[in-house]
Structure 1
Amino acid sequence: AGGNITTRTNNTYDASPSITNNGSSNAFFAAIFQPSQESQSVREEVYTYMDNIITPQVTPDINPWKWWAEHEKKFPMLAIMTHKYLSIPATSVPSE
């Protein structure tokens, strides 16, 4: 019951693992679970892009390729993504 294991001979064993807290395991988990410098800079770039005060609003008459060409230095990582998603391959096969 509750963390203990009882065998047929009614011997009781503690099932809770022993945890030793040392500096090396803390450093290991910190290295795995803390965000990297690159992910933090991507997050900051996205927040800057989403901030309506800093980023001008795009209107329907603006060409998205032209807008990103003008703003790719301000948002370099997002500009890379836009090249992928704004460039839809042309096809001669009708879509279904």
Structure 2
Amino acid sequence: MAKITYIAFDGTEYVVEAKDGSTVMENAVRNAVPGIEAECGGACACATCHVYVDPAWVEATGEPEPMEEDMLDFAHDVQPTSRLSCQIRVSPALDGLVVRVPESQG
């Protein structure tokens, strides 16, 4: 199990334990992290699970695939560390991952 810290726009931190193989989005929804709506249920068909990956974790989470990049066009205030949390799979290498929820989703 990996620990993931979600930081809401207001600075509130939500630390959750996430099973390997699940997604960052699934764990946010399961733990009622505000701002992660996941309207499409993780199908990479909306941008309501948009997060900013902490710069220290960008390499570990990897680059977005082309489909994810296309969906990020629909997100507000996209930044270089923007990702859709439904596309980040939890693994032991992500233990300690920190992501921030954008203001537009807060």
User: What is the TM-score of this pair, normalised by structure 2?
Assistant: 0.24
Structure of greater relative contact order (alpha carbons < 8 Å, 6+ residues apart): 2
Whose strand fraction is larger, Structure 1's or Structure 2's? 2
Whose helix fraction is larger, Structure 1's or Structure 2's? 1
User: What is the TM-score of this pair, normalised by structure 1?
Assistant: 0.26
